[in-house]
Amino acid sequence: MASEPVGPGSEGHRGDSYPVDARGEKDPTCVGPVGRFLALVGDDASDRARLLHIVRTLRRDRDEPLPADIADRLEHAVESNIHVRDEVGER
């Protein structure tokens, strides 16, 4: 089954169309895996600060803001990741 470009946002940054699976768009079941991924990526305080900046920027987006409940979950994942617990244990 071939995917077709779906509505606004289905174009690349240069206006090129690319396939988008409409079923995966805004799928709430993706929030958990994304949060776990962000928790692993934030190795140190500067990484976590950058990730939090991205999440907070997405939250304030004028056209398609990240819903507050999802932004809250992602921020929590970044702030309370396994690396933070390791750093606290090292002190």
Distance CA 42, CA 69 (A): 20
Average pLDDT value for residue range 50-63 = 95
The pLDDT confidence band at residue 85, using thresholds 50, 70 and 90, is low
Record the pTM: 0.63
Residue of 64 and 5 predicted with greater confidence? 64
Q: What's the mean pLDDT when you consider all of the chain?
A: 74
Judged against a pLDDT cut of 50, whether residue 3 lies above it is answered with no
**pLDDT-based confidence at 27, cuts 50/70/90?**
confident
Report the distance separating Cα 22 and Cα 25, nearest Å: 5
| Position 81 confidence tier, pLDDT thresholds 50, 70, 90 | confident
- Of the chain, the end-to-end C-alpha distance in Å amounts to 54
Q: Give the pLDDT of residue 84.
A: 58
- Tell me the domain boundaries of the chain: 28-90
Question: What are the tokens at 47?
Answer: 């990484």
Mean pLDDT over residues 53-76, rounded? 94
